[in-house]
Amino acid sequence: MHFERAHNHTWRKIKSTLASTVAFVSAILVIAPLALVFLHLLVNGAGSVNWDFFTKLPAPVGATGGGMVNAIVGSLELLALAGAIGIPVGVLGGVYLAEYGSTRVNLILRFLADVLNGVPSITWGVVVYGLVVLRFKGFSAYAGGLALSLIMIPLILRTTEEVVLLVPNGYREAALALGVSRWKTIVHIVMKTASKGIITGILLALARVGGETAPLLFTAFGNRFWNHSLSQPIAALPLQIFTYAISPYDDWHRQAWAGALVLVTGVFCVNVIVRLLTQGRSASVV
């Protein structure tokens, strides 16, 4: 009896060590690409990230210097447009799923949102090309923003639903028992309690679509100059990186590296903000 137990114990220890080693190696494998990509970007791009990069328009072929200010501003404009459509629809949809709706309708909506989350992003570009670009006969910032918003909606919808469901029922009951209407309870109590989580979902969705290139190819199209009207083609950082990266010029390659570095840093910053936001979790649940 004793022997067996001792034997088992050793074997268990070996298994345990084995499992934790495999887990550790896997963790390294997950982090390594991120570190490598960032290092590579730093090495190749840091040299070209300078004041000009953030303040000047792209230089013509052959001329040195120039920057991507139009692409950076363009990306921000596209994100603003995408947010203007995607945030209200996503948040309200998520609140509907969590607070209203019958079980069966919710099941279908939830399933569809998950399917939409899995649709390749280029598909949204093609859809918006067909629906908007062809109809209004031209690429535009509006079309780009719409394409990005369609990617954002299911993302925001699902995170909003999840964090709203986390709000304990006691708070809803407490508000309703004060004679507060259902709608006001949801807006002032439930959504306020879940606001950190909702904002986190929005920021992560913005970070995700901020790096999207494919849906912008047939919609925003890109622009080497300032965009003066949202119904005209507009530059975006990922598009500019794409254009420069596939070009044959060394100068442009360097600019593409710099652009990629700026983009990754931006996404990284958003994630850090999200981290800071979600740190004070202990006080409330969400």
Q: Which lies closer to another protein via its Cβ, residue 232 or residue 284?
A: 284
Torsion on CA atoms 260, 262, 267, 272, rounded to nearest 10? 140
Calpha distance 21→8 (Å, rounded): 20
Whole-number Å distance between alpha carbons of 216 and 116: 18
Shortest distance in whole angstroms from residue 98 CB to another protein: 14
Which CB sits closer to another protein, 3 or 183?
183
The b-or-e profile of 233-266 (16+ CB within 10 A means b, else e) is bbbbbbbbbbbbeeeeeebbbbbbbbbbbbbbeb
Selected from 132, 175, 206, 241, the binder of another protein by CB under 8 A is: 175
Residue type, 268: F
CA neighbor of 154 nearest in space, from 105, 204, 80: 204
Tell me how far, at minimum, the Cβ of 190 lies from another protein, in Å: 10
Alpha-carbon gap, residue 172 to 29, rounded angstroms: 44
Contacts of 172 (CB under 8 A, 6+ apart): 185, 189, 190
Among residue numbers 190 through 229, which ones bind another protein (CB under 8 A)? 192-193, 195
Least separation in angstroms between CB 166 and another protein: 12
Give the Cα separation of 47 and 255 in Å (integer).
9
What H or E segment, with its residue span, contains residue 47? none
Is residue 177 part of the contact set for another protein (CB under 8 A)? yes
Q: How far is the CB of 263 from another protein (least distance, A)?
A: 34
65 binds another protein (CB under 8 A): no
Segment interacting with another protein (CB under 8 A) among 21-29, 170-178, 215-223, 225-233: 170-178
Classify residue 163 as exposed, middle or buried by CB count within 10 Å of its CB (0-12, 13-18, 19+): buried
CB nearer another protein, residue 33 or residue 179? 179
Residue 130 is classified by DSSP as I
Q: Which of 29, 63, 276, 283 binds another protein (CB under 8 A)?
A: 283
Q: Is position 280 an interface residue for another protein (rule: CB under 8 A)?
A: no
- Nearest to another protein of 7, 184 (CB atom): 184
Minimum Å gap between C-beta 278 and another protein is: 15
Q: Which of 47, 88, 120, 168 binds another protein (CB under 8 A)?
A: 168
CB of residue 83 vs another protein: minimum separation in angstroms? Answer: 24
Check residue 63 for interaction with another protein (CB under 8 A): no
Of 30 and 283, the one with the shorter C-beta distance to another protein is: 283
Q: Using CB under 8 A, list all residues that contact another protein.
A: 168, 170-181, 184-185, 188-189, 192-193, 195, 283-284
